Amino acid sequence: MHWCGNVVTGPDGEASAVLLRAGEVVEGHEPARARRGPRVADRDLARGPANLMQALGIDGSYDGTDLLDGGAVRLLGPPARPVEIASGPRVGIFRAPDTPWRFWLPGERSVTPYRRSPRAPQD
């Protein structure tokens, strides 16, 4: 069983969530590696939605966690400087495969490369 993390960004009863797809381990490499395995490259420790949650040690027990209450899993404030954000099609889906609902930081090595679903209509 794999866990993925969604951040709900709107009020109860409205569909408004963001799937966390990847991250970069900037500290705590030892616990992340213990959770992911000794042969996983640093770049790949948190590459992909399920790998990200595994590297962070997040499982179903965190369901419903308030990310603004300052607990162990929390969102931090905005970055100190503006950042460029790229967008493109989502990976591996076959409905609306060209809709640019995937966002990432350009040049970020932990972002999974784009792969079009073989079930998506071909151009």
Q: Residue 108, Cβ neighbours under 10 Å: how many?
A: 13
Of the residues 22, 45, 68, the one at which a domain ends: 68
- Report DSSP letters for 11-66, one per residue: -TTS--EEEE-B----S-HHHHHHHH-TTS-GGGTTBSHHHHHHHHT--GGGTT--
- pLDDT-derived band at 123 (thresholds 50, 70, 90) equals low
The total number of structural domains in the chain stands at 2
Q: Which two tokens stand for residue 120?
A: 């998506």
Whether 79 has a pLDDT exceeding 80, the answer reads no
Whether residue 85 is contained in a domain is answered as yes
Same domain, 64 and 82: no
Q: Which domain, by its residues, includes 44?
A: 1-68
Whether residue 73 is contained in a domain is answered as no
Of the residues 21, 36, 68, the one at which a domain ends: 68
Same domain, 63 and 122: no
For strands 17-20 and 5-8, give the pairing: antiparallel
Q: pTM for this one?
A: 0.79
Query: Longest Cα pair distance anywhere in the chain, in angstroms?
Result: 47
pLDDT digits (tens, 9 = 90+) for 16-42: 998 998 888 989 999 999 999 999 999
For strands 17-20 and 102-104, give the pairing: unpaired
